[in-house]
Amino acid sequence: MSEANSSHATELTSQYIAQVTGDLERNAKEQERIGQEIEALQEQLHALQHDHTVLVNMQQALGDASPAAEMDTATTPSVPHQVSAEPKQSKPKKAAARGAKKTASKKPAAKAPSAKASTEATKPTLVDLIRSHLKQESEPRSAAEISAALTQSHPDRSVKTTVVRTTLEGLVAKSHAHRTKQGSSVFYTTAATSEPAAAEPQQEAVAS
């Protein structure tokens, strides 16, 4: 009886060990998945913060330009009122000319920040870089290959493979990219290049 009880206890222990091991594996995979989603969300948050900074700079630039015009229009008519008692009208003309020069000198200064802001606004996002890279490639690429290519072409940006993979899955969900699996590896292609490839066999059949 004691041997039967010990063997039964051993079987239960083995079952618990297998169950705990499986739970640990699932927990680790879930942590990895959530970590990838967090990195992708952080990338999107950085992009939104960058856009917010650009928009604030543009708003400030446009706001600085309008008060300057109002100040010039407010000071220009005040000069003739002060010299209206004098018979000569040459001084008001000179004052108006000085006001025009002030307006001309202030407006270029206000355009400089907006030009800088527009340059920053043209900086492509990670989604744009990935889609452009897929369009340039004729063969399917993995997330690691795309990440390495973007890091080489854009050394000023931090491109992580996990973020690239999450972004690619988002493009696949929106039908902007296609995913193919070869063994244990996953490859991606742009949705635009897959349509002509599917149409080529039909053209060859018509030609034959």
Q: Which residues contact 62 (CB under 8 A, 6 or more apart)?
A: 114
Q: Is the model's pLDDT at 110 over the cut of 70?
A: no
- Position 34 scores a pLDDT of 93
Q: Which residues pair with 190 in a beta bridge?
A: 177
Could you tell me the pTM of the whole model?
0.37
Determine the length of the chain. 208
CATH 1.10.10.10 fits 124-208, yes or no: yes
Q: Is the model's pLDDT at 178 over the cut of 80?
A: yes
**Domain coordinates in residue numbering, the chain:** 124-208
Q: Which residues contact 51 (CB under 8 A, 6 or more apart)?
A: 121
| Range among 22-31, 58-67, 101-110 rated most confident | 22-31
Q: Which residues contact 3 (CB under 8 A, 6 or more apart)?
A: none
Work out the percent of the chain whose per-residue pLDDT is above 90: 18
Cα separation of 163 and 151, whole Å? 13
Averaged confidence pLDDT in the chain: 73
Residue carrying the six token digits 């492509």: 124
pLDDT band at 45 (very low <50, low <70, confident <90, very high): very high
Judged by DSSP in three states, 174 sits in: coil
